[in-house]
Structure 1
Amino acid sequence: MPPSLRQVAALPQLGLRPLTEVPRNAPVRWVAVSELEDPTPFLEGGELVLTTGMRLTAEGAGPYVERLVVRGVAGLGFAVGVIHQTVPAELVAAARVQGLALLEVPRPTPFIAVGKAVSRLLAAEWYEDATRSAQAQRELTRAALRGPGPLIVRLARELGGWALLLDAAGDVRHAEPARARRRAPGLAPELARLRRTQRSQDGPASIALSGEDGQVVVQAIGLGGRPRGFLAIGTADPLPPAAHTIVGSAVALLTLQSERPRQSRRLRAALAGRMLGLRTSGTAGAGLPDPPVRVLACAGGAAVLDALEDDPAAEHCLAVPLADGPCAVIVPDRLADQVAALARATGPVGVSGPADDLDSLGAALAQAEQALPAARRVRADADSPYGVLHYADLPGQGLLGLLDPGPAQGFAEALLAPLRGEDPALLLSLRAYLAANGQGEAAARALGVHRHTLRSRMRRTAELLGRDLDDPAVRAELWIALAVTANDDGPIRQAGGSPGGPAEIA
């Protein structure tokens, strides 16, 4: 709201002196300086008019005041000590009779000082309105996340009035306060007018009404020519510009909520058509990815849904949280890498091979889930701490790369435990023996020992382990165990063969 004339008159730095009664709530919208006998053609109403009375006569005081009152000015400021030493008595009398607020402006106060003071008050009011609007919009958005009911409650509180959310037929969905429901029947004619104007798409989307109990504004909700509902709000006084902004925000939020069922309906129709093997019309843009598609198994779980919402590629994906924690995402083949890069911000990602039809999606999900554990052990890069692995790349990871370091470490330590605390040469000899595929001569040469020495060590190793070292399966397990123990808790990549260079064995 603009500052009131009483606020302006009370500013001590101006030294203004009221000569007639100053209304409590008369707003000052601007300051106008004029010495014309009739300045009203250049006024809009709501101004504080300042004059020195250069052209004012005793006979002209009454008509001059009358013209200002008819124009709706906020008040008149008369400077003394310039043309007139005091405010003419005729002017004071006319202002008192006709109800015009008259202020005496002392000689030391220039008109520019009054203009600047009012300008500062207007700027402060504007800033306060803008701040309030922004805060109200944030509160409305928070309320809208909980549904239309909390939004209506918040809107009514922000405006200091009542609010109704009506469906397309005019029935009340939410009312704040509850007694506002009784106003719905009286709004029926206005809803009918809005329906007609919205169908023609050439009329207003809102109607403002004035009545004995205040002001009412009715807004259509929804896009297109058919409203999906209506918002009605009522206040004791006309809405200021800041309040109109708040109402507009509420309408926008309610419109977004009202459009969600349409989006869901198109998506369900597209899914039903695919399941029935139909190429239904009108499904473009429904959010159903076109084949070929891939399935992503994302360890980030529900956090993936939030990550995808912020990118346009998500419009072409279908995501669903799985029961055991990860999230599965069906994505067009052409966008698989882009979506995987988004999802990896929340955790490792396994990517299936391409699926050409609906029947292949189950197999694609299985592929993605098989790739996910290995993706947890893929080395990350500077862009993300998590890795992405395609199912087709699993063989390239090698058998060791697919092992989970935790369980593998436990297996290796238990298998090799009998050799701990024994001669270290036994473990080195076992490595060389396995690297030579069980060929004693080759292993002995690699170690630089006699073949009988190696044979003796292998007998002792077999006794301690309780395993037959001539069995290929036993040798495979031992080779894996040695490879695991050669790594830390990170990805398992080092082979379990004999280390490079000659062994220092006597």
Structure 2
Amino acid sequence: MTTFGTPEPALSVRQVLTLERVLAGEPEVVAGAAQLDRPVRWVHVAEAPDVGVMLSGGEMVLTTGVLLAGDEEKQAEYIRSLHRAEAAAVVLGLGRAFPSPPDVMRRAAERCGLPMVVLHRPFPFAELTEEVQARLVRRKFAAVSLSESVRTALTGLITAGAPLQRLLDEIAQHSACPVVVTNLAHRVLATAGERPAVDDVLRDWERIARQAGGSEGDGWIRAELGGRGERWGQIMLCGYRGDTATGRLLADRGAESLVLHRMLGGNSAHTWEEQSAQSLLTDLVSGVVPARQLLPRARAAGLPVNRRTFVPLVVRDGEPAQLDRVLRMLGLPGLVAELADAATAVLLSLARDQDAEALATHFAARLRTESGSTKAVVAAADPRTAWDDVPAGLREAQHVADAVADSSAALDLPAVVRLRDVHLRGLIRLLRDDPHVQSFAERELDGLLCAADEDLLSVLRTYLATGRNKSRTAQLHHVSRPALYRRLEAIQGRLGVDLDDFEQAASVHIALLAHDAQQG
């Protein structure tokens, strides 16, 4: 990543007073000391009593007060006029007009909260104007340069087909603070930035989300996401430490890039909501990130997590969009995410007084009704009441789903398959990568493990899965009973076993389950 310099922050009144040329005038703050952090947008020399009509806000006004001397009403109105024009501060050079700070102006400035500074030594205002204007111009030029640099970098990433996360990382790098993207319901879709800082933001996200519609402050800078008259989200810089104008610029450039990325479809078929759920559930399943650290992300994504019962599910041969639609139809809070190998994870979050098993069964039944197919396999782990137990639950559900994948036994499974339903097949799935199990499978099936014997292997698989039911096996393979007998004799001859012997048949069955698990 190419990094670019951040523009100098806007000068505050306090910073102007520390400039060497100003210090030579022996400045003294006589009013509005609590407002010295106001940004100075420009410096303006003005003597006219109605100076406010010439200002547009943010100016530091320099005056000798020569036109105000001797008229206290004009002095008070001068201050009020500056206040109405939202001037940053007023600097009065003491001299012939005012040898000491005028009480009327000081009291008026204090009432208005307007910083008032007096200079005890003669001071050429032109020098101060020149230095401050030069600094402000440099800052504005740097801001424009930064804007173009950021836009170029983000456009380059989009052109290269970079994912959403890569764009957000770039924005976070430039802003040096957490970046959060939300939908209109203020649910977090994506984040970027230093992980501890992001986690701090997400832990307090409920409060932040409630205040999201309020005014910007303390570095919380937002930009709307949308197009063609429709809003669909926002990007937020959380705790930006630079000046607000530069922060808004960065947020705007980021919003432009995200809108363009969404219009072009990125390089993914998934919506940002789906990507958010997928990232969270994938991290939960993998166990790489401790569950406790993922809790703020889950809460910010809209998943209820306080005093809930979590039901981990993994669905085979079910479309994620369809699963999400079924959840909405049933009014069940949950997250849906596509995993590998045609599996989809579903994490339900239920109230403690709800029947978790009954609702999981209801979900499975509605899914089959909506899909019009009985192919979808819904595997579930036992309900969890502790968030820290959710990763293990998801892995258990995934294990159950794997155990029944491509299995003829799946025809006899309940609507929701649990660990107790997969029996030996589940154990073999857990042990499939063990070298001893692999060696056992190779040794037991050695006589059939070649391409030419795939038909015999299929017959053996069906015969054992049906509990050695010859009639059922012949029917499933569309062969006569005598033809089946000949194939069974060939199998027994190749393997050197007697399939009528329970122990030998069980050994071959275990070896075949191990072989299928390894291949699958």
Higher helix share: 2
- TM tier relative to shorter chain: 0.3 to 0.5
Q: Rg bigger for which structure? A: 1
Structure with the larger RCO, 1 or 2 (CA within 8 Å, 6+ apart): 2
Structure 2 length-normalised TM? 0.39
